[in-house]
Amino acid sequence: MKKLLVIAAGGVAGSLTRYLFTESLTSYPIAIFVTNVLGVAVAGSVALRFKPTELSRLFWIPGFAGAMTTFSSVAVIHGERNDILAILYFYAMVIVSMLILWLINPKRELIK
């Protein structure tokens, strides 16, 4: 039960953070892009850079980052704009996210 409460607390914080970002940035697709990329950075930092306790890891990764990031909004953006820009938006988010994880990873290697 304690673990579920920790995840729920992280979820509340992540959801509120996402809401504040989407309200503060003028363009909805850009706000979702920035929010998702920041969520990846948070989850990646906790997973790859820090040595969190189990409860801290549960708060930050499935709780905070899971609630902050939102694939459903990406799908809605893609559904509303069924064109090449929507496809590029999706792949740009994936590429930027992977680049961030690569930069965060202390064991990163260049492609040989």
pLDDT in tens, 2-51: 999 999 999 999 999 999 988 888 788 888 889 999 999 999 999 998 88
Mean local confidence (pLDDT), 72-78:
79
Is residue 65 pLDDT above 90, yes or no?
yes
Q: How many angstroms separate the Cα of 71 from the Cα of each of 32, 35, 57, 75, 76?
A: 9, 11, 21, 6, 9
Residue-averaged pLDDT of the chain: 88
pTM passes above 0.75 = yes
CA distance 52 to 58: 9
Instruction: Please tell me the predicted confidence (pLDDT) of residue 111.
Output: 60
